[in-house]
Structure 1
């Protein structure tokens, strides 16, 4: 491993890393409720360091433990400080390129210093960690203190070494590696006059094929380099590093206040713990995707370019719908970036990071992100181009569908489902997930039908809305399920089916929390990262049909209850989110709120391990935020399911229209005994439906909910339930 180091004579050093990559209305500073360390252990994988909204520069200390997001509060050791990271990603650690490591060497000869990761790794003082929006600080056991902040593309670090000892000499090591140790090749140079270090390396993305090139430039300030001078940059984002540190922190804080400013909350006595979970959740949804404008070496379309869509299978459900409400300008740029990728790479991505394609986990779920923006009247997007891109996903199979598009389209069109052990003469990919892909392709086609109808293409609507019913071909009405030999009492589950129409078999509890986890590569199955028990509920276009297949409302509710109380439900993974609210479709919206209160705050809290699983680019945070607001988005549809808020009042001002939405409660109880909606008014008029459209936000409506301690008749009538399409075909 090639490394570069500079030996310093002074105890304080500030250096700049420039990365080049091919208030609420209630007079409260909401930043006091943002804790970036939530989810910094126990598999949350959050980025806990300093950043601005959607910024590329993300400096933090990297550890040798749970280091997917760089830093973790798991008691592991610090191995370096690097300036680029992703947040809330699973699998291999992401980015963390070119870490710098400060240390004290026992002699002036650099050969006496520690260079290998295992040798230099140093514990940190737990009580020394300070993490807040735009700022991160930590002290190593060696006595070296590190503080950092950032602009959008550059990181500024400040190191303070212990009092000078003639026998100890400060050294900063630069290691040409990344968190995953995936470097393929690299080059580096040190200017003999200024001490400036710059170079590049080729690395592997953490969840996908291909490679990417990262460049770096490191400049040192405030420390006397024994054999070099100090170089002052002329054209960087941080022109005066010695004096700009505090100003950068303040600017980052102001940027976060501005991004969070559309929301104001009257907590009504709700605990600081819940408020911290709420605001920290909002904060994490705006860390990624990242704005890579002018950093894409392959093309420049003259529009903002976003990357780190990691992965859309996770984020389409709640994160992007939340950004559509709180930061529609950024969401417009993200949607246009997806279309820009389509124009230049030929396909919409399902996962895209480090300027590389990631693995496709299920369907072509960028389709859902685009259509969700369409049905919510987001402007500034070429919808005809969007239609073209989504039709390609639905009709044209790429040769290698492992990282974009859909596979098995010949079977999808001929058999109306993805077969178990499908024979696919057109393309290739991981030949698994036949159940979950069938369900997702069906919903992707429903979203396509929605966009086609909106654009006046009734012929396309008729074609794809019929294909959206294909999930029913995998419903096996006599299939039963047992746990440890005991029948669960329910009949009818999705099951894999061969090309000849005969049934295969997957135990309905396989891939659940009661069995082994099913990943894309290490343990592939016919459902992805969740069981048949979980996937059986994921047909948001046709819930009334599903309820009928399960025997009517009461058996459906009993099945939902069993799912959520038996250990089968996995709240640590995104497919479970919607199941918390499915009682709405059976005419029992109060049970959705009741179920939500079993997960918040039991599975979501403000401890360092306060997330039940991987944050997935802020998806866990977005789930909490929607739950506390009292709404849940059905992504791809103009539908929000209404539940009881966790605060007395929430106001949201649309950055697009300037109109303010008010969600008020009557009878709010901070002890949460009154969690059942008794009645609702919208703009002063009775509202009996258990759902509402995005006009709530676009037009700035006022919704008032009267709460009580018992279920009521509100939202229970058939005509007041959320929309559902289709009829049983099997």
Structure 2
């Protein structure tokens, strides 16, 4: 309502001589509508951040509810392990995808796509049916996506998506046409996409998708058994991604296709690169709606999902419901005193933190990719644990403590059904990345009092990670993306337990494994101590010191060692023995014993000098996770102002409101969670310790809604005198009690009403 209408409504009320109370009520309503233009949290989200090739953010403009089982999105390329389905740099759209790909270096599975089309010729393959588009004709939000697709004779097709968790409603606005068409692709095994990490041979030989058109029911059903990560996981004979697609307009013509061959009038098709098509006669600007429902359980369950999530054809209602679901989550943190551009960066980061792990259960039931059966209960999947244990999961202990416990329950289900907790489920075991960092997730939650899961079973699962080596541990190197043989767990654990490190000539990525196993052992030790399991505690704490066995004091670096103890020297850029990094990337990766690491490296002065070199000589890689805590290490050696300087720098240069605005793969929310913690002013350097290291707040005020002991409360973080010059902290007060060290305990934080930072332009030591 504009101002003139507001004035008019007031005049009408006065003229009719209404009672004062009624007048105030109506005036309040009028003002409410007048002020409804105020942006809500979700309105600041820019899903295009991180979608460009430059920056390699690996994000996508997903549509769906928070943690949705299926993400619905535009598709600009054929995705595989190594590329997402949407890349901002691409010029064409080839479909609208129901996707389950969580990130760049993991695979999609059980997917299906739709693509609108007009014209006499039926074009089915992605490279033939793609349409050039303009980003200016595109709109993306977490609850709605639209794009105009210029087609034949300069006629546009408008495509729109809104979605819930397992289902979506697509709305296609066609020009006048006798053959307004939708191409459905039920599976896409394209051998031309074969490369070093995508082996199509076994999938082409073993699996086939299936699709069926039912003109009487005006729908298409099918299943897709493809898992792009199948080569690095166990076989799953029963795995299928089921789908139902239903139309609001009577199908006029139809057919199926396989490869480039089209079968007009055929209702059923199987194959490895195939689908179906349906045609309608449309008037100008006529809308054709398609309901799509997905399931990993059955077609019957897909129909149940559709009934629950898409009870009607009301596209706008679905948009509003999903928008509200996002606002409920994103409004848990309110930031103020900053420009809209910074709010977009912040709320997009928070949006990225509410995408994964994905829901995997379907209204009380779930398919398990760990025993290939259907079970009762709730389930989640796609945990990027090597990345997310560092900041994402600690952030969720603040924002979503109950959900954190549910995620642990999901991991424990995988343990019961498959024998181990996974490292990186997609949707089953995959031997990607290293370490058993479910240990860190559970320990951090347990030590914070989050225990709404089977704690005894959790300890059993963690203890197995620490104590039991994987199959053929001394015979296999367990290299990155090796073809599946068995679950990797802690490869090299046999040596780690006997000689005190993982030897480079026996097991791949030996230095990184030794460091990360030592941290995971420390995490389990904290839980063991709390549970009174002191024998385990002593053994685990002893192993947690194994990091010292790969520190070469002469060279000043963590370096690979052979089984016989011989060292392997490396130059600054050699990645041998490391996971996604070099000897600089992993130099300071001792989260569990930072004082011990500092002493080992020659004391505080020597440690600071090495840390300075790390940043001054550009060895620091913010685009990958192992070094995410490095900026905060100055707090441990008496120079917190250097942390504060670097927080200001790196929250700005690595995060921008642009398609290339995430510097490095977001990795299911880890990069984004680092940003959120860092602009708030504290960071979980050692998950499991209940201690946050102080950074430097970047916003004048942040309000966080926390759930403490079952009740919501608000924590307000204030940065007084914050400015471009005033980037240093002079004093910190927690509810008017001054903090005298650059650390804050988790329980002090969640029970506080206010944390007040007094900022200054001069470095100071707390």
Regarding TM over 0.5, the answer is yes
Q: Deviations over 1:627-681 (max 9, x none)?
A: 1111101222211111221111222222343353534335332x43212111112
Q: Select 2:40's aligned residue among 20, 29, 34.
A: 29
Instruction: Name the structure 1 match of 2:458.
Output: 386
The answer to whether the 8 Å contact 1:305/1:337 transfers is yes
How far residue 417 of structure 1 moved from its aligned partner, in angstroms, is 0.4
Q: Is 1:418 matched up with 2:418?
A: no
The answer to whether the 8 Å contact 1:70/1:96 transfers is no
**Following the alignment from structure 1 to structure 2, what is the Cα–Cα distance between the partners of residues 246 and 222?**
18
The answer to whether the 8 Å contact 2:718/2:754 transfers is no
Unpaired stretches in structure 1, ≥5 consecutive residues: 1-26, 107-111, 423-430, 480-491, 512-524, 715-730
- SS of the residue corresponding to residue 533 of structure 1 reads coil
Instruction: Name the structure 2 match of 1:193.
Output: 216
Instruction: Name the structure 2 match of 1:9.
Output: none
Return closer, same or farther for 1:604/1:65 CA change in 2, 3 Å cut-off: farther
Instruction: Name the structure 1 match of 2:325.
Output: 255
Return closer, same or farther for 1:71/1:400 CA change in 2, 3 Å cut-off: farther
Q: Select 1:177's aligned residue among 177, 184, 187.
A: 187
Could you state the TM-score of these two structures normalised by the residue count of structure 2?
Answer: 0.80
Q: Select 2:544's aligned residue among 449, 468, 474.
A: 468
The answer to whether the 8 Å contact 1:604/1:612 transfers is yes
Q: Is 1:237 matched up with 2:308?
A: yes
How far residue 702 of structure 1 moved from its aligned partner, in angstroms, is 2.4
Q: Select 1:349's aligned residue among 419, 422, 432.
A: 422
Q: Deviations over 1:422-457 (max 9, x none)?
A: 2xxxxxxxx310000000010011011111011111
The answer to whether the 8 Å contact 2:123/2:129 transfers is yes
**Following the alignment from structure 2 to structure 1, what is the Cα–Cα distance between the partners of residues 110 and 571?**
40
Return closer, same or farther for 1:571/1:543 CA change in 2, 3 Å cut-off: same
**Following the alignment from structure 1 to structure 2, what is the Cα–Cα distance between the partners of residues 629 and 343?**
38
Correspondences of 1:196-215 after superposition (within 5 Å): 196-206=219-229, 208-210=232-234, 212-215=239-242
- SS of the residue corresponding to residue 527 of structure 1 reads coil
The answer to whether the 8 Å contact 1:86/1:288 transfers is no
Which has the higher relative contact order, 1 or 2, with Cα contacts under 8 A spaced 6 or more apart? Answer: 1
Return closer, same or farther for 1:204/1:224 CA change in 2, 3 Å cut-off: closer
Correspondences of 1:489-500 after superposition (within 5 Å): 492-500=556-564
How far residue 596 of structure 1 moved from its aligned partner, in angstroms, is 1.5
Q: Is 1:216 matched up with 2:280?
A: no
Instruction: Name the structure 1 match of 2:468.
Output: 396
Instruction: Name the structure 2 match of 1:100.
Output: 114
Q: Select 1:306's aligned residue among 363, 380, 390.
A: 380
Greater Cα offset, 217-226 or 610-619: 217-226
Q: Select 1:681's aligned residue among 723, 729, 733.
A: 733
How far residue 701 of structure 1 moved from its aligned partner, in angstroms, is 4.1
- SS of the residue corresponding to residue 569 of structure 1 reads coil
**Following the alignment from structure 1 to structure 2, what is the Cα–Cα distance between the partners of residues 497 and 643?**
35
Q: Select 2:72's aligned residue among 55, 59, 62.
A: 59
- SS of the residue corresponding to residue 456 of structure 1 reads coil
**Following the alignment from structure 2 to structure 1, what is the Cα–Cα distance between the partners of residues 79 and 605?**
44
- SS of the residue corresponding to residue 144 of structure 1 reads strand
Instruction: Name the structure 1 match of 2:696.
Output: 644
- SS of the residue corresponding to residue 570 of structure 2 reads coil
How far residue 532 of structure 1 moved from its aligned partner, in angstroms, is 1.0
Q: Select 1:155's aligned residue among 132, 152, 168.
A: 168
The answer to whether the 8 Å contact 1:674/1:709 transfers is yes
Q: Is 1:282 matched up with 2:353?
A: no
Return closer, same or farther for 1:209/1:535 CA change in 2, 3 Å cut-off: same
Instruction: Name the structure 2 match of 1:15.
Output: none
**Following the alignment from structure 2 to structure 1, what is the Cα–Cα distance between the partners of residues 245 and 571?**
54
Instruction: Name the structure 2 match of 1:359.
Output: 431
- SS of the residue corresponding to residue 74 of structure 2 reads strand
**Following the alignment from structure 1 to structure 2, what is the Cα–Cα distance between the partners of residues 247 and 694?**
40
How far residue 303 of structure 1 moved from its aligned partner, in angstroms, is 3.2
Return closer, same or farther for 1:231/1:276 CA change in 2, 3 Å cut-off: closer
Return closer, same or farther for 1:339/1:391 CA change in 2, 3 Å cut-off: same
How far residue 526 of structure 1 moved from its aligned partner, in angstroms, is 0.4
**Following the alignment from structure 2 to structure 1, what is the Cα–Cα distance between the partners of residues 619 and 375?**
46
- SS of the residue corresponding to residue 443 of structure 2 reads helix
Instruction: Name the structure 2 match of 1:624.
Output: 675
How far residue 96 of structure 1 moved from its aligned partner, in angstroms, is 7.4
Instruction: Name the structure 2 match of 1:319.
Output: 392
Could you state the TM-score of these two structures normalised by the residue count of structure 1?
Answer: 0.83
How far residue 576 of structure 1 moved from its aligned partner, in angstroms, is 1.7
**Following the alignment from structure 2 to structure 1, what is the Cα–Cα distance between the partners of residues 71 and 748?**
35
Q: Is 1:444 matched up with 2:548?
A: no
Correspondences of 1:263-282 after superposition (within 5 Å): 263-265=333-335, 267-268=336-337, 270-282=338-350
**Following the alignment from structure 1 to structure 2, what is the Cα–Cα distance between the partners of residues 613 and 65?**
22
| Count of residue pairs the alignment pairs up | 640
**Following the alignment from structure 2 to structure 1, what is the Cα–Cα distance between the partners of residues 417 and 763?**
53
Q: Going by fraction, where is helix more abundant, 1 or 2?
A: 2
**Following the alignment from structure 1 to structure 2, what is the Cα–Cα distance between the partners of residues 178 and 668?**
57
Q: Is 1:117 matched up with 2:117?
A: no
**Following the alignment from structure 2 to structure 1, what is the Cα–Cα distance between the partners of residues 504 and 714?**
48
Return closer, same or farther for 1:28/1:200 CA change in 2, 3 Å cut-off: closer
- SS of the residue corresponding to residue 549 of structure 2 reads helix
Question: What is the CA RMSD across the aligned residues, in angstroms?
Answer: 2.3
How far residue 349 of structure 1 moved from its aligned partner, in angstroms, is 0.7
**Following the alignment from structure 1 to structure 2, what is the Cα–Cα distance between the partners of residues 93 and 451?**
34
The answer to whether the 8 Å contact 1:99/1:178 transfers is no
The answer to whether the 8 Å contact 2:598/2:607 transfers is yes
The answer to whether the 8 Å contact 1:47/1:86 transfers is no
Correspondences of 1:2-13 after superposition (within 5 Å): none
Q: Select 1:672's aligned residue among 684, 704, 724.
A: 724
The answer to whether the 8 Å contact 2:504/2:562 transfers is yes
**Following the alignment from structure 2 to structure 1, what is the Cα–Cα distance between the partners of residues 378 and 79?**
32
Instruction: Name the structure 2 match of 1:296.
Output: 367
Instruction: Name the structure 2 match of 1:570.
Output: 621
The answer to whether the 8 Å contact 1:325/1:697 transfers is no
The answer to whether the 8 Å contact 1:290/1:306 transfers is yes
**Following the alignment from structure 2 to structure 1, what is the Cα–Cα distance between the partners of residues 244 and 616?**
53
Return closer, same or farther for 1:301/1:118 CA change in 2, 3 Å cut-off: closer
- SS of the residue corresponding to residue 446 of structure 2 reads helix
The answer to whether the 8 Å contact 1:51/1:287 transfers is no
The answer to whether the 8 Å contact 2:114/2:184 transfers is yes
**Following the alignment from structure 2 to structure 1, what is the Cα–Cα distance between the partners of residues 706 and 402?**
10
- SS of the residue corresponding to residue 516 of structure 2 reads helix
The answer to whether the 8 Å contact 1:95/1:179 transfers is no
**Following the alignment from structure 2 to structure 1, what is the Cα–Cα distance between the partners of residues 641 and 535?**
39
Return closer, same or farther for 1:231/1:287 CA change in 2, 3 Å cut-off: closer
The answer to whether the 8 Å contact 2:72/2:168 transfers is yes
Q: Select 1:77's aligned residue among 72, 81, 92.
A: 92
**Following the alignment from structure 1 to structure 2, what is the Cα–Cα distance between the partners of residues 252 and 706?**
39
Q: Select 1:707's aligned residue among 734, 742, 759.
A: 759
Q: Deviations over 1:327-386 (max 9, x none)?
A: 1222111011111111111101110023x1122412111111110111111131222211
- SS of the residue corresponding to residue 112 of structure 2 reads coil
Return closer, same or farther for 1:231/1:330 CA change in 2, 3 Å cut-off: closer
